[in-house]
Amino acid sequence: MSIDPASDHHVSDLHAQQVDFLVIGAGIAGLSAAIRLARTGSVLVVTKENLAESNTAYAQGGIAVAMGGDEDVSLHYEDTLAAGDGLVNPEAARVLVEQGPQRVQELLDWGTAFDREDGQLMRTREGAHSRSRILHANGDATGREIAVSLLRHVREIPSIRLMEWTTGIDLIVEAGRVTGATLLDGEGGILAVRARATLLASGGAGQVYSDTTNPAVATGDGIAMAYRAGAAISDMEFYQFHPTAFSQPQAPRFLMSEALRGEGAYLVNAHGERFMQRYHPLLELAPRDVVARAITHESMDGPVYLDMRHVKKDLHARFPGISQFLAKYRLELNRDLIPVRPAAHYLMGGILTDVHGRTTLPGLYAAGEAACTGVHGANRLASNSLLEGLVFGALAADAMIADSSRLPSIERTATTSIPVSEGATSDANTERWIEDLRSNMWKYAGLLRDANGLETMQRTLHALAATMPQGLTRRAIEARNLHTIASIITASALARHESRGAHYRNDYPQHDTVARHSIMRNGQLIFTESLEPSFA
């Protein structure tokens, strides 16, 4: 189902616009795509808040890229495969590491100010990388620097229009093809935008969990819209929990970047002991899923801390954003133990696409965290996410241009309509409903899972569906989307009877002998060894 057919409010009755290309999301994937799309047509980029508010802007550690030649590219490929725990799509990984240097060079050409020393780009190392290949900017503000650079370039292109404070409601599907979307603007008005091709670059869904490093905008809107329209969704059980989010009562789960461990931070338990040697030979730089579970285990005896007191560097200069945050709590990296715990961070699954961003629905494309090419497998390699947005955003744009030029025109006679309910749920009740969902997802479908908990979560979701917030407000739309995301995660996690990467089942702690992807479409869940279904 894409849009409720029972409503009396048809798209043809709404305020409508026509563009060549509609891009939902203004992070690194969406803006990268928009720049290329603008070469051949008009582009509308919509974002739910202001243009600076995206997961891209919150990325601290850096962007992983192999700029040292063929050997470096080959090692980056091997590291990506290893981190993904047997489930990485090799084609997607190859595309990522081989095209990454060219895309990063474009950022440099557009004025992105990565940190340098004596004129040379500085590189650091993060978990599960075999060498230092992480570029960073302003110490720990890499994502924000890239976002600013892309926005500056986008604003210089007349054929790109930017629309802030605009929430996607649903996709418009006509004659089996996606022809745009209905949107809610910042003043509560409803807009129908038709386009030759539509790109969902709307980011992840960390807000489905009560503990997350993600900003408030990360409610899985694009994935939920695509699912309701009938697109295939893949590998949603693989949610990466970042090992080191700030952990104090009443404080946000602020990300303590993996780059801290790359610069030498230790993890110590409540007794002041380093413990990672008991879990992995790479110690603090082990893959994220391993570190997150180790911290969870050690925290049974008390708090776990990051310890950088031994690091002889000016950490305030190296990590100015983190240092500024910690100062609010009278903590300093060079002086104090920093309390940490895992938090939901990154979704490896999403809308199933090929390496060119094509989904299983004609006219619909996806890129970035909202998409699933299989490039991350069961566990994303640190700092591959920004590179993913750059590479696959550009590839999706190229496919959108090529495909839309060949598609026949569509008779626009469908009676597609928007969801309208009799009465809107109050803001307070909507917030309580959302918090109930998020806290239960953290408890029953979080870092450590089992059948009892996942079945309890399914019953909880069934009960929550009966009291779904009503009305066309942003939070009611987000509530509906979070319920969709939670339902797919829970069903996929319950059906996967193994532990792999970020998905850990206490009742099935071993790998299956065969690595398989999950695919959910129209309520049906299947498992397959390769992500090569029939793409439209």
Total structural domains within the chain? 3
Q: Does 132 lie in the same domain as 193? A: yes
- Asked, for residue 418, whether it belongs to a domain, the answer is no
Pair (100, 208) in one structural domain: yes
The pLDDT tens digits along the chain (536 residues) read 233 333 334 444 457 789 999 999 999 999 999 999 999 999 999 999 887 766 566 666 689 999 988 999 999 999 999 999 999 999 999 999 999 999 999 999 998 999 898 899 989 888 788 898 999 888 777 888 898 899 999 999 999 999 999 999 999 999 999 999 999 998 889 999 999 999 999 999 999 999 999 999 999 999 999 999 999 999 999 999 999 999 999 899 999 988 899 899 999 999 999 999 999 999 999 888 899 999 999 999 999 999 999 999 999 999 999 999 999 999 999 999 999 999 999 999 999 999 999 999 999 999 999 999 999 999 999 899 999 999 999 999 999 999 998 865 544 444 445 555 557 889 899 999 999 999 999 999 999 999 999 999 999 999 999 999 999 999 999 999 999 999 999 999 999 999 999 999 999 999 999 999 999 999 999 999 987 655 44
DSSP conformational letter for 506: T
Say whether both 121 and 228 belong to one domain.
yes
pLDDT of 165-174, one tens digit each? Answer: 999 999 999 9
Chain segment 434-481, per-residue pLDDT in tens: 999 999 999 999 999 999 999 999 999 999 999 999 999 999 999 999
pLDDT, one tens digit per residue, over 379-425 is 999 899 999 999 999 999 999 999 998 865 544 444 445 555 557 88
Cα–Cα distance measured from residue 449 to residue 339, given in angstroms and rounded to the nearest whole number = 24
CA distance 525 to 221: 20
In this structure, how many other beta carbons lie within 10 angstroms of the beta carbon of residue 471? 18
Residues 321 and 398 in one domain: no
Whether residue 387 is found in the same domain as residue 445 = no
Contacts of 24 (CB under 8 A, 6+ apart): 30, 46, 168, 181, 198, 199, 200, 201, 202, 221, 222
Closest CA to 492 of 467, 465, 530, 528: 528
Single-letter amino acid, residue 283: L
First to last CA, the chain: 18
CA distances from 458 to 129, 135, 172, 432, 485 (A): 37, 42, 29, 19, 12
Taking the model in full, what pTM does it have? Answer: 0.91
- Of 326, 344, 362, the position where a domain reaches its end is 344
* Residue at 186 is within a domain: yes
Judge whether 2 lies within some domain: no
Give, in order, the Cα–Cα distances in Å from 95 to each of 2, 344, 516.
32, 27, 21
Give yes or no: residues 184 and 215 share one domain.
Answer: yes
What CATH number is attached to the domain comprising 307? Answer: 3.90.700.10
Report pLDDT for 1.
29
Domain contains 410: no
What are 181-205's pLDDT values in tens digits? 999 998 889 999 999 999 999 999 9
State the pLDDT at residue 415.
42
Q: Are residues 117 and 233 in the same domain?
A: yes
Count other C-beta atoms under 10 Å from residue 460's C-beta.
20
> In 3D, which of 520, 356, 408 has the Cα closest to residue 179?
408
Residues 353 and 339 in one domain: no
Does residue 463 lie in a domain region?
yes
Residues 272 and 389 in one domain: no
Q: Tell me the one-letter amino acid at 340.
A: V
Residue 416 in any domain: the answer is no
Range of the domain at 118: 22-238+348-404
Identify whether residues 195 and 114 lie together within a single domain. yes
Active site residue 94: no
Are both 50 and 94 inside the same structural domain?
yes
Q: Show the tokens assigned to 506.
A: 């206490």
- The active-site residue out of 288, 318, 358, 438 is 288
Last residue of a domain, one of 344, 364, 386: 344
What is the reported pLDDT for 479?
98
Nearest to 389 by CA among 375, 400, 404: 375
What is the reported pLDDT for 56? 67
User: Would residue 413 count as lying in a domain?
Assistant: no
CA distance 184 to 190: 5
Q: Which residue has the tokens 């992807």?
A: 517
CATH, residue 358: 3.50.50.60
Domain boundary among 404, 439, 474: 404
Are 77 and 113 within one domain? yes
Is residue 202, in this structure, part of any structural domain at all?
yes
DSSP state of 523: T
